[in-house]
Amino acid sequence: MKAYVMIKIRAGEVKDVVRQLRKVEGVIEAHMTFGPYDAVAVVETPDISRLGAITASAIQPIPGVEQTLTCLAVDV
């Protein structure tokens, strides 16, 4: 399962948060973005339960992370 986690970050902390995101197990990519969100993390997990655990226990607690929005990727 693949998901895109859109992240709002406190001003001045984007680079540090992106560096920390790249260290999270299950995060295969992390990038700074322009627009309503400051960064995006691409997460691959075996199931939705693990995705929830990564988001709640590894991404949201990173200092500077203010808000996340998780978008599940689906193949058509």
* 73 belongs to a structural domain: no
Quick one: pLDDT at residue 66? Answer: 98
Q: Which helix (H) or strand (E) holds 18?
A: helix 14-21
pTM of the model: 0.95
Quick one: pLDDT at residue 45? Answer: 97
* 41 belongs to a structural domain: yes
The domain that contains 50 carries what CATH number? 3.30.70.920
Bridge-based pairing of strands 39-44 and 27-32 is antiparallel
Specify the number of domains making up the chain. Answer: 1
* 50 belongs to a structural domain: yes
* 22 belongs to a structural domain: yes
* 19 belongs to a structural domain: yes
* 44 belongs to a structural domain: yes
* Boundaries of domain holding 36: 2-68
Structure tokens at 13: 């902390």
* pLDDT tens by residue, 16-74: 999 999 999 999 999 999 999 999 999 999 999 999 999 999 999 999 999 999 999 99
Contact 21, 39 (CB under 8 A): yes
* 74 belongs to a structural domain: no
